Amino acid sequence: AEFLSLFSSSLCFWLTNPITFVLPTTLSSPWTVYLALSWTILASAIFCWIMSLLTGNLSQIDRLWSVLPPLYSLLITILTEDKGGLNAVLSLVTVIWGSRLTLQFVWKGGYTLEGEDYRWAYVKDVFGGNKLVLHIFNLFFVVIYQSILLLLLVTPQLALIGEDMALTTLDTILAGIFLFLVAMETLADCQQQAFQRRKYSSNQVGEGDGEVRDGFVQSGLWAYCRHPNFLCEILIWWVFAMIPLSRVGCGWSLVGAVNLTGLFTGSQDLTEQISASKYPEYRRYQETVPAFIPSVRMMTIKRRD
């Protein structure tokens, strides 16, 4: 009842004040902030949909993945009454995360016209050339759902509106863990990139050292779990959600982390199907190395090695 009352009053405010819907001044309710930022969800979804139709490249939302959460976080800090303390720290760590991921995406050529995720070729095969169904899938699951998800990731910051924003020791520890996970994800990506350079410096799979012959990275963090970068990305947003949860016990602040976990789990399944179809040794890798969480026994064995 309280949620419906807050939401309806916020909606009435925006309907009777349309100018502040686009350019609000200051907001004091999570629901008014949601409505204030909804225009960016609409704009990003329309942009990605039109660009995918014009270019045939269905990876448009990937280009906004590292940009929108920091933008949302900064806007929340600016639009809410408390512009310092914990809000500033949350925006800072989110900007660091986004900057790192953007540079990674630039290095991979993700912002070029041809920069489409390689997995789309396999997804298109699943739809058997039915472009209508493919574009419906792209519109609803990729463009609309993921545009909403990018705002949901910073929902924990909204849960803190109206709360005491003074930094605590636990806040500092959680922010440090967040940055540590960003560093670990960076390391995993760098190890993958170094492997890819070695792989493509050989003439073909089957030449070079052991993992180059196999065709996929198995060293460094990738020796402990098959998707260390996915694991770090998921944990980053769970840690982000822990900050308001530890203060106000707001369960709905977890919705972004929960949805991201489901999305990455599905993405992992597709990635592994592709790898197993390309590289015969990948089945052995799946049998011996966990997907996400390495066992204590495995970590002990790796350290001895």
Question: What are the tens digits of pLDDT across the range 73-124?
Answer: 998 888 776 666 888 899 999 999 999 999 999 988 888 877 888 888 888 8
Tens digits of residue pLDDT in 173-187 = 999 999 999 999 999
More confident residue, 277 or 158: 277
Q: What is the pLDDT of residue 38?
A: 80
Residue 24 above 50 pLDDT? no
SS3 category, 283: helix
Q: What is the pLDDT of residue 22?
A: 44
CA 286 vs CA 8, 79, 190, 205, 275: distances in Å: 50, 47, 22, 19, 10
- Phi and psi, residue 203, nearest 5°: -70, -35
Q: Mean pLDDT, to the nearest integer, of 186-196?
A: 94
Q: Mean pLDDT, to the nearest integer, of 135-160?
A: 90
Q: Give the chain's radius of gyration (CA, Å).
A: 21
Q: What is the pLDDT of residue 105?
A: 92
Residue 212 above 70 pLDDT? yes
Q: How far apart are CA 32 and CA 161, in angstroms?
A: 11
pLDDT band of residue 296 (cuts 50, 70, 90) is low
Q: How far apart are CA 240 and CA 177, in angstroms?
A: 9
Residue closest to 57 by CA, chosen among 48, 65, 66: 48
Q: What is the pLDDT of residue 208?
A: 56
More confident residue, 296 or 71: 71
Contact 198, 262 (CB under 8 A): no
Q: Mean pLDDT, to the nearest integer, of 128-154?
A: 90
pLDDT band of residue 210 (cuts 50, 70, 90) is confident
Residue 201 above 90 pLDDT? no
Least confident of 16-30, 38-52, 155-169, 258-272: 16-30
SS3 category, 203: coil
Q: How far apart are CA 229 and CA 221, in angstroms?
A: 9
Residue 16 above 70 pLDDT? no
Contact 224, 299 (CB under 8 A): yes
